[in-house]
Structure 1
Amino acid sequence: MKYTKLGHTGLDVSRICLGTMGFGRPEAGMFPWAINEQKSEEVVAQALDLGINFFDTANIYSHGDSERYLGAALKKLAPRDQVVVATKVFYTPTDEPNQHGLSRKAIMTQIDQSLTRLGMDYIDLYIIHRWDYQTPIEETMEALHDLVKAGKVRYLGASAMFAWQFEQAQNIAEKHNWTKFVSMQNHYNLLYREDEREMIPYCQDQDIALTPYSPLASGRLTRQWSGDTLRYKTDKPAQEKYDADKEKDMPIIKRVGELAAKYNVPQAQIALAWLLHKPQVAAPIIGATNPNHLKSSVDAVNLDLSTEDLHYLEQLYTPHRVVGPLTPADQNFTR
Structure 2
Amino acid sequence: MKYKLLGRSGLKVSELCLGTMGFGTEAGWGADAATSFAIMDAYANAGGNFLDTANMYKLGTSEKIIGDYLGNQDRDYFVVATKYTLKDNITNPNASGNNRKNMMRSVEESLKRLKTDFIDVLYLHIWDDITPIDEVLRAMDDLIKQGKITYAAISDTPAWVVAKGNTLAELMGWSQFIALQVEYSLLARTAERELIPMAKHFGMTVTPWAPLAGGALTGKYLKGDKGRIKPESNRLNQRAEKITRVVMEVADELGVSESHVALQWTMSKGFQCIPIVGATKVDQLKDNLKTVDVKLSPEQIKKLDDASKIELGFPGDFFNEDAVKLNSFGGFYDRVEKR
TM-score (structure 2 length as normaliser): 0.87
2:33 aligned with 1:17: no
Cα distance in 2 for partners of 1:8, 1:178 equals: 14
8 Å CA contact 1:6, 1:282 repeated in 2? no
Change (3 A) 1:196 1:294: same
Q: Which amino acid aligns with 1:234?
A: R
Change (3 A) 1:179 1:279: same
Change (3 A) 1:136 1:54: same
Shift of 1:93: 3.8
Cα distance in 2 for partners of 1:108, 1:228 equals: 45
Counterpart selection for 1:233 from 222, 227, 231? 227
Aligned equivalent of 1:246: 237
Shift of 1:99: 0.6
1:229-248 deviation per Cα after TM superposition (whole angstroms, max 9, x unaligned): 6xx53356xx77534x6111
TM-score (structure 1 length as normaliser): 0.88
Counterpart selection for 1:82 from 53, 61, 77? 77
Any stretches of 5+ residues in structure 1 without a counterpart?
322-335
SS in 2 for 1:189: coil
SS in 2 for 1:316: helix
8 Å CA contact 2:222, 2:241 repeated in 1? no
Cα distance in 2 for partners of 1:129, 1:189 equals: 19
Any stretches of 5+ residues in structure 2 without a counterpart?
313-339
Shift of 1:134: 2.0
1:106-147 deviation per Cα after TM superposition (whole angstroms, max 9, x unaligned): 111000000000001101110000112222222111111100
- Pairs within 5 Å for 1:262-277: 262-277=253-268
Give the count of matched residue pairs: 312
1:28-53 deviation per Cα after TM superposition (whole angstroms, max 9, x unaligned): x3xx2211111111111111111111
Shift of 1:316: 2.1
SS in 2 for 1:4: strand
Aligned equivalent of 2:301: 310
Aligned equivalent of 2:59: 63
Q: CA RMSD in A?
A: 2.0
Cα distance in 2 for partners of 1:320, 1:153 equals: 39
- Pairs within 5 Å for 1:89-168: 89-94=84-89, 96-168=92-164
8 Å CA contact 1:275, 1:281 repeated in 2? no
Cα distance in 2 for partners of 1:171, 1:132 equals: 20
Shift of 1:197: 1.2
Change (3 A) 1:4 1:75: same
1:7-34 deviation per Cα after TM superposition (whole angstroms, max 9, x unaligned): 21111110011000001133xx3xx221
Q: Which amino acid aligns with 1:242?
A: N
Change (3 A) 1:226 1:251: closer
Cα distance in 2 for partners of 1:143, 1:166 equals: 15
8 Å CA contact 1:183, 1:208 repeated in 2? yes
Cα distance in 1 for partners of 2:214, 2:195 equals: 22
Cα distance in 1 for partners of 2:177, 2:199 equals: 10
SS in 2 for 1:86: strand
Cα distance in 1 for partners of 2:134, 2:155 equals: 17
SS in 2 for 1:203: helix
8 Å CA contact 1:63, 1:92 repeated in 2? no
Moved more, 142-151 or 87-96: 87-96
8 Å CA contact 2:55, 2:110 repeated in 1? yes
Larger Cα-atom Rg: 2
Cα distance in 1 for partners of 2:146, 2:130 equals: 25
8 Å CA contact 2:23, 2:32 repeated in 1? yes
SS in 1 for 2:122: strand
2:185 aligned with 1:189: yes
